[in-house]
């Protein structure tokens, strides 16, 4: 009884915190969220946060190991969402579809993909390409077969390349809808908000930095010039820009080989997912995301995006840049386009 009271208080506190940040306490519609890679360093805390969300009524966890245990653990949390955990079906002959993946994906409204290997010291996101590209390709093939109308949110790095991979897979399957495929760049916004708020001595919840470009190193461009009240010397602006661009390296180095940014990425992925669900049931939502875009000459680009009931409603223009921001933009574009093409070529080789 004592433990139950403590658990109920903890859940109530978490939900009150969400409501105080502008999250709805009730949801008028049902929503199934599938987390692919749910037993991993990002997947477990992401699944936990989704389990706590009032926007989620069914949580489906999938990974190559461990998901029955993860789902059983989560199922003891007293929230309204049901929880299931699936593993890949054993290989059989004649060959059949992956039954575990089918179970996880069928009926999904949103599929979040954090699956893949984490970075280690000295590795770039691009170093992860060969392993994670294959993982994303396989999982998105499953999405094309079992939930072709779901919103697919890709977290697996390198996002600049894995989102184009997903697009090419969906095109080959004849189900590609650019309104339903996004790369999650919310962590770049979280970092920018945190760093600039700390420098200004304000609450991060009162800051919303627009971050454009991609999701790797110099392709990340925070537009600090648009933050009301922010004033930087040239040196300070350079330092906070570079820290935002390479914030992941800071975490990788601090973990000393034990992993990459998992908790902050899970939080960012949750924020993105919950906002998508809110938009699906009619709320006005604008958030930065990496999507198919014509705001630049790169096929995919991160910028503010308006979401609605059917996914991406409008990719908003990035507006005028300062001379400093323009320098970073010009430096970023060749690298971003190269990483996009690498993803396209992977599927079409």
Catalytic one among 51, 125, 180, 215? 215
User: Is residue 76 annotated as a catalytic residue, yes or no?
Assistant: no
Q: Are the beta carbons of 264 and 190 closer than 8 angstroms?
A: yes
Distance between CA atoms of residues 134 and 187, nearest Å: 23
Q: Sign of torsion, CA 295 296 297 300?
A: negative
Which tokens is 298 given? 């790169």
Q: How do strand 32-36 and strand 110-113 relate by DSSP bridges? A: parallel
17-43 burial by CB neighbour count: b if 16+ within 10 A, else e? ebeeeebbeebeeebbbbbbbbbbbbb
On the CB side of 191, CA atoms within 13 Å amount to 25
Interacting residues of 335 by C-beta distance below 8 A, sequence separation 6+ = 217, 218, 219
What's 157's DSSP letter?
S
The residues assigned a catalytic role are 215
């Amino acid at each position: 009884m004592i433990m139950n009271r403590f658990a109920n208080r903890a859940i109530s506190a978490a939900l009150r915190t969400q409501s105080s940040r502008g999250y709805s306490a009730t949801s008028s519609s049902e929503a199934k969220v599938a987390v692919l890679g749910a037993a991993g360093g990002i997947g477990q805390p992401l699944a936990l946060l989704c389990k706590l969300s009032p926007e989620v009524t069914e949580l489906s966890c999938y990974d190559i190991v461990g998901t029955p245990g993860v789902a059983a653990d989560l199922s003891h949390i007293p929230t309204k969402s049901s929880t299931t955990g699936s593993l890949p079906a054993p290989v059989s002959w004649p060959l059949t579809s992956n039954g575990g993946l089918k179970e996880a994906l069928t009926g999904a409204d949103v599929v979040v993909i954090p699956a893949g290997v984490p970075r280690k010291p000295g590795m770039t996101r691009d170093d992860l390409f060969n392993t994670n590209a294959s993982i994303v390709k396989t999982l998105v093939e499953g999405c094309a077969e079992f939930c072709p109308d779901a919103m697919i949110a890709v977290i697996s790095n390198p996002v600049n390349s894995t989102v184009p991979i997903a697009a090419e897979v969906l095109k080959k399957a004849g189900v590609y809808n650019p309104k339903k495929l996004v790369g999650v760049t919310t962590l770049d916004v979280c970092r920018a908000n945190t760093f600039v708020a700390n420098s200004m001595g304000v609450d991060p919840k009162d800051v919303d930095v627009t971050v454009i470009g991609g999701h790797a190193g110099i392709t990340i461009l925070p537009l600090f010039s648009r933050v009301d009240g922010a004033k930087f010397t040239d040196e300070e602006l350079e330092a906070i820009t570079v820290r935002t661009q390479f914030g992941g390296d800071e975490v990788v180095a601090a973990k000393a080989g034990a992993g990459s940014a998992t908790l902050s990425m899970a939080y960012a992925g949750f924020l993105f997912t919950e906002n998508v669900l809110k938009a699906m049931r009619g709320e006005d939502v604008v958030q930065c995301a990496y999507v198919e875009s014509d705001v630049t000459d790169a096929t995919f680009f991160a910028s503010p995006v308006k979401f609605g009931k059917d996914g991406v409603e409008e990719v908003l223009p990035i507006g005028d840049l300062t001379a400093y921001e323009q320098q970073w933009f010009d430096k970023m574009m060749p690298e971003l386009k190269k990483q996009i093409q690498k993803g396209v070529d992977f599927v079409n080789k």
